[in-house]
Structure 1
Amino acid sequence: MSRARVARRIAAAAAYGGGGIGLIGVGLVGLLLAEAKIAEHQLDTLKGEPPRADGRYGTAFAAADARPLRFAVLGDSTAAGFGVDRGRETPGALLAGGIASVTERPVDLYVVAANGATSEDLVRQTEVLLQQTGPEGPELALIMIGANDVTQMTKRATAVRLLGDTLKQLRTVGAEVVVATCPDLGTIEPVRPPLRWLARRASRQLAAAQAITVVEAGGRTVSLGDLLGREFRGRHEMFASDRYHPSAQGYATAAMAMLPTLCAAIGVWPEIPHEQRAEGLHSLAKAAAVAAAHGGTEVAPAGHWAQLLRRARRPLSAVGNGGGTDADRRPTAPAAGAESAVDAALSTSDSSQ
């Protein structure tokens, strides 16, 4: 069965309440459990919680009367930035700085992502987010989810349905939503065949089904799987000490892939012909399957079709008009460090980060 048909079946099962396709055949369960125990033993375990990153970014770029843009990050430990020491190194902070630079508006960042979260936790996270932002809700939201659904063997149709429900709720309050689809868990080095192969297959099937549901709900997706697989494979500096979560450099790489789609969702990304390549219109199922296997590929709605777009990634230092620090973080954010290891445009004024 083609990837597109599998993805469509999972998405259809999610829409109509079916159980979906099982992760693996029962005959492999014993072998895979043994492989998983070996991999778990070989991975170091990070302790604690991700650093705080909530706050206001980019006032150095903004006009005095510019209204802050409300930007939310939902999802799992990768969305929260687990594995780095400072808030400015998390994906939310990196992206908030980049968005502020492009829009020339301050960005208020709300991070409700949580360690260990599966798609089921998106319900709680959305409730917390709407309490924080009030009835207006966020204007732009990023969701990074799926890895824990694979490792905890959540039924994929269930995971996709919960993601779709979250999209609809956020869209109801007027938010533009981008989903970074399930990463390729086959990139984790201690995970060996056959578990690695099955993890890769399950990751891509879930990513494709997520893309179908997200685009049907009016959102956009960007695939991280193959991108991170290609650029992370064999490069220990891209991972934190647990060899599972990204390092600061790894998060910066992911942020470069996500920033163009987030900015395009709110209509502020410069459409420079030589920096992007349209892959044409396809059925949504085919577009989703292609994107799942090609990292950095955006899937966006186009009437009854879907558009595949591969945007060239620019270094974060090339975003917007360059440097600057944030002099007026909200009191709820940790307080201020001027420089960023990745780019001055993404720095905050919190020395504790």
Structure 2
Amino acid sequence: MAAAQVSRARVARRIATAAAYGGGGLGLLGVGLIGLLVTESRLAVRAVGLLEGDPPPADGVYGAAFADPESDQPPLVLAFLGDSTAAGLGVTAGEETPGALLATGLASVAERRVRLVNVARSGAQSVELAGQVELALPHRPELAVIIIGANDVTKHTPAALAVRQLGETVRALRASGCQVVVGTCPDLGTIKPVQPPLRWVARRLSRQLAAAQTIAVVEQGGRTVSLGSLLGPEFAARPEMFAADRYHPSAQGYATAAMALLPSLCAALDLWPEESGPRIEAEQVLPMAVAAAAAAGRSGTEVAAAERLGDLGRRWAQVKLRLRLGLPDSSESIPEAGSGSANSHPGTGDVRAT
């Protein structure tokens, strides 16, 4: 195992253990390091700029074109929680948000309408997930997608605290019978306006948090998909994958991320047998911390409990690298008229909210 992966596994387990026992003192950045990087952070904020306005309205019922018109089956309820990446900041139309794209993708596979309830907020940190769960649960979601972590890194939230709050959120959703898929903290080192040495620090902290998130989520019965630097190489080659701020994804960028998440969403709902689903490029069963570290270092990797190991499933995890699924044509992503309203709003006091 590579030295970096061993180190990441050790740190991830330490953070997750502190989270489980109520520790909150393991900061993502040391005090001295924060002081050294203040100037770099301010320059990065200026270079990135700000996106004005709210994410577009996206709540509603999707996929009527894929459903049996004679079926009286109610729509499957998909909840979206997290920060502005979950809310879809950076696009101009609701059907371009990741929630709408995945609702349409699920509908096409399930041949059933999907109702999207998006309670994500721009600028949200993990501490705000508890409030978002309270908004989502009355809708009785069958599946929840959470994308969180970037603001915990940029706002220096203690890692153990952020991970504990995410774990509690997953536990509450699972207790209600809802399946959970978490897109772990993206690699902030891939953001082009962020320059070294801040870029190197951001990459390390992002991956450490992503690995710790994976341990907490899987131990609470959810599964994770590593977003990592998933969009980095494509963004470098294709500037149109960025929104105007060169920080948030554009419509094409969100579509790329949605294609990576969709197979795991379908698997969580047992929408197809594993043998007939999308081809799995690689699969392993590894100790939990090792699996989390490996996933953090390879974007698009899914981690779930190794169920076949019975009682050992909490300590071992199944790691899968699934091939991306293509999304239906965007014309199918328009919700039924009058089927919902937007729930996504920007947070306050966060000049570099994601």
* Post-superposition offset of 1:73: 0.3
Mapped to 2, the partners of 1:270 and 1:205 lie a distance apart of: 33
Equivalent of 1:289 in 288, 293, 299: 293
Equivalent of 1:180 in 180, 183, 186: 183
Equivalent of 1:164 in 164, 167, 174: 167
Amino acid across the alignment from 1:210: Q
TM-score normalised by L of structure 2: 0.88
Counterpart position of 2:75: 68
SS at match of 1:174: coil
Equivalent of 1:32 in 25, 30, 37: 37
Contact 1:60 1:326 (C-alpha < 8 Å) held by counterparts = no
Q: Call closer, same or farther: CA 1:237–1:21 in 2, change over 3 Å.
A: same
- The aligned runs of 1:297-336 (5 Å cut-off) are 297-303=301-307, 304=313, 305-317=316-328, 324=332, 328-333=336-341
- The aligned runs of 1:185-264 (5 Å cut-off) are 185-264=188-267
Query: Structure 1 residues 272-281 or 191-200, which shifts more?
Result: 272-281
Unmatched runs of 5 consecutive residues or more in structure 2: 1-5, 308-312, 343-354
* Post-superposition offset of 1:215: 0.4
Q: Percent identity among equivalent residues?
A: 61
Mapped to 2, the partners of 1:153 and 1:234 lie a distance apart of: 31
1:316-348 per-residue CA deviation (whole Å, 9 max, x = no partner) reads 249xxx9757674444348xxxxxxxxxxxxxx
TM-score normalised by L of structure 1: 0.88
Amino acid across the alignment from 2:305: P
Runs of at least 4 residues off by over 4 Å: 322-327
Counterpart position of 2:107: 100
* Post-superposition offset of 1:273: 7.5
SS at match of 1:85: coil
Equivalent of 1:120 in 120, 124, 127: 127
SS at match of 2:174: helix
Mapped to 2, the partners of 1:142 and 1:18 lie a distance apart of: 26
Amino acid across the alignment from 1:187: T
SS at match of 2:254: helix
- The alignment status of 1:14 with 2:19, answered yes or no, reads yes
Amino acid across the alignment from 1:277: E
Counterpart position of 2:347: none
Equivalent of 1:41 in 36, 43, 46: 46
How many aligned positions are there?
A: 327
* Post-superposition offset of 1:189: 1.1
RMSD of aligned C-alpha atoms?
1.9
Unmatched runs of 5 consecutive residues or more in structure 1: 335-353
Query: Structure 1 residues 79-88 or 17-26, which shifts more?
Result: 17-26
